[in-house]
């Protein structure tokens, strides 16, 4: 279901798929994200097939769920419900206040941009094992994790053993 959000500064339409996109999950948890995305995309010129933005919005927007981890953190790995990629979680991490908004856009065949994903916080490489994994994914996720805050997990996938390690 395509839901229009805004037009970029150069007139490209931006929309969200409220059913199938990764952004839909984040927006369902924090509906005000759509207003923040609208504010940001109206200021940009989108011309490339993918637009990955991290913007300091000049005010505290909320709390980042991805935090740096250390030796004292309790780490677990699991797949979220309806996800086939493992996420690294910290059980004792603290959310960090942030002014940053991340927005990921992809141009479709009609020249419009789909809001692929968005969240409050800094941009981070895709998780290891995902189809968009980059060269930086493993090294970043070795030192960062999502703060575990009761997210729905696939119980059979919970482990303390890192699934990203080479076998």
Host domain of residue 75: 2-157
Handedness of CA 68, 90, 85, 38 (dihedral sign): negative
d(CA 70, CA 143): 7
In a domain, 82, yes or no: yes
What pTM value is reported for the model? 0.85
* Cβ atoms 37, 115 nearer than 8 A: yes
Element at 96 (helix H, strand E): strand 96-98
pLDDT tens for 133-154 read: 999 999 999 999 999 998 899 9
Q: Could you give the number of structural domains in the chain?
A: 1
**Predicted confidence (pLDDT) per residue in 32-79, tens digit:** 999 999 999 999 999 999 999 999 999 999 999 899 999 999 999 999
Q: For 15-31, write each residue's pLDDT tens digit.
A: 999 988 889 988 988 99
Q: Specify which residues 88 forms β-bridges with.
A: 77
Residue 45 lies in a domain: yes
Distance CA 47, CA 113 (A): 10
């Amino acid at each position: 279901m395509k839901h229009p959000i805004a037009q970029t500064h150069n007139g490209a339409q931006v929309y969200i798929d409220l059913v199938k996109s990764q952004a839909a999950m984040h927006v369902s948890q924090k509906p005000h994200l759509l207003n923040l995305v609208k504010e940001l995309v109206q200021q940009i010129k989108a011309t490339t097939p993918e637009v990955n933005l991290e913007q300091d919005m000049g005010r505290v927007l909320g709390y980042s769920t991805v935090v740096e981890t250390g030796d004292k953190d309790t780490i677990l790995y699991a797949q979220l419900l309806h996800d086939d990629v493992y996420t690294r979680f910290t059980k004792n991490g603290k959310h960090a206040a942030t002014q940053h908004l991340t927005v990921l856009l992809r141009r479709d065949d009609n020249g419009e941009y789909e809001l692929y994903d968005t969240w409050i916080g800094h941009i981070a490489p895709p998780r290891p094992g995902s189809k968009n994994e980059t060269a930086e994914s493993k090294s970043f996720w070795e030192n960062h994790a999502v703060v575990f805050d009761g997210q729905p997990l696939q119980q059979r996938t919970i482990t303390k053993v890192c699934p990203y390690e080479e076998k």
